[in-house]
Amino acid sequence: MWSPQQPASSIPIQIIAKTASFASIASPPTPAMAQPAAPAPPMSTPESATATESSPEDALSEESLNDFISSLPSREGWPQPLIQYKGYWFKPRMLEGVLRTRRAFLPRADDVVLATQPKCGTTWLKALAFTIANRSCHGLGATDHPLLTRHAQHLVPFIEIPGATGGDDHINLGALPSTRLLATHMPMSLLPPETRSLGCRVVYLCRDPKDTLVSRLHFENKLAARGGGAGLSMDDAFGLFCEGFSPYGPFWDHCLEYWKESLARPDTVLFLKYEEIKLDPARVVRRLASFLGVPLTEDEEGSGVAEEVARMCSFETLTGLEVNQVGGVSHGNRVHVDNSVFYRKGEVGDWANHMNREMGVKLDRIVEEKLQGSGLVF
């Protein structure tokens, strides 16, 4: 624990330590980050742009959870049927996690939540935030740095996807020390209401919808092939996506909720785009460090820390690590995802290699209409 007067370089940090190689780094073996310089004040007024109110189903017992999910609208189309809840589409197991999170997860005022839609740069954001927050106790570039020895997905636990940290045991989020660095794919409106009322910090990362769709399709088809199922064609996936029918979709609603929240609460919600990280990663490192309450010192600026963090977390560095090419992540002990699946190309504009110009224009037009008047553009 540190006080706001302490320099960032002296902040003690704790991390996930589920393997013997981490046992000597921190105790207890859990993921955490440096505390922000000053926790944001609780939001006690209804000025938030996105309602995150409680619902009757938040009190569902475990026994009645499946019955409730079975009563919801469902639709075929993707390799797995999707279920609609509160205007969004989810895979059944993911919806179970969302509902359990709303029922049991207890936010803390100093929590930091990294929010994304799938395939919008989740792994990259986890790597950047973890490295920035823990730079005081893990030398950048050190051979034993956790980012170089573990998959970035394993270093920041999801609040609604148990078991997605590379081990057999689920992490007890309630037992983690503050400040917790957490992740989610949930829409803003489905996060526990206390996330807003307590002033938890949220970093949202979005991506051009065309590149998101291409990456999503490749990911889903790899999962389907691993399970012996059939994948989707680009034409089919494109049609579904344009209807707003995709896992955690509609895409535009998900983005818009966090965008509006970032305008209403800029001190506690930071909105980033994948493309701006690609354009100037060092600049985003500085923005993230300031937002997390651990800004770069003058010495760090002079020694090129921002550039080194960007290099360590780059697509080229991470894809070249053996740890990111072997093993995998288990989601709830039912779905196993190979580590390599989380890295494809990481390019901006790759959609042009997978869909024609007319498709790109159509999707751009749909998204523009959905976001009209919000100030958010892609």
Tell me, rounded to whole angstroms, the distance of Cα 94 from its chain centroid: 14
Active-site pick, 185, 254, 331, 354 = 185
Per-residue H/E/C for the chain: CCCCCCCHHHCCCCCCCCCHHHCCCCCCCCCCCCCCCCCCCCCCCCCCCCCCCCCHHHHCCHHHHHHHHHCCCEECCCCCCEEEECCEEECHHHHHHHHHHHHHCCCCCCCEEEEECCCCCHHHHHHHHHHHHCCCCCCCCCCCCHHHHCCHHHHCCECCCCCCCCCCCCCCHHHCCCCCEEEECCCHHHCCCHHHHCCCEEEEEECCHHHHHHHHHHHHHHHHHHCCCCCCCHHHHHHHHHCCCCCCCCHHHHHHHHHHHHHHCCCCEEEEEHHHHHHCHHHHHHHHHHHCCCCCCHHHHHCCHHHHHHHHCCHHHHHCCHHHCCCEEEECCCEEEEHHHHCCCCCCCHHHHCCCHHHHHHHHHHHHHHCCCCCCCC
Provide Rg for the chain, Cα atoms: 20
Structure tokens at 364: 């751009």
- For 39, 99, 196, the CA distances from 199, given in Å and listed in that order, are 8, 21, 5
Q: Catalytic: 185?
A: yes
Angstrom distance (rounded) from CA 129 to CA 116 = 13
Active site residues: 185
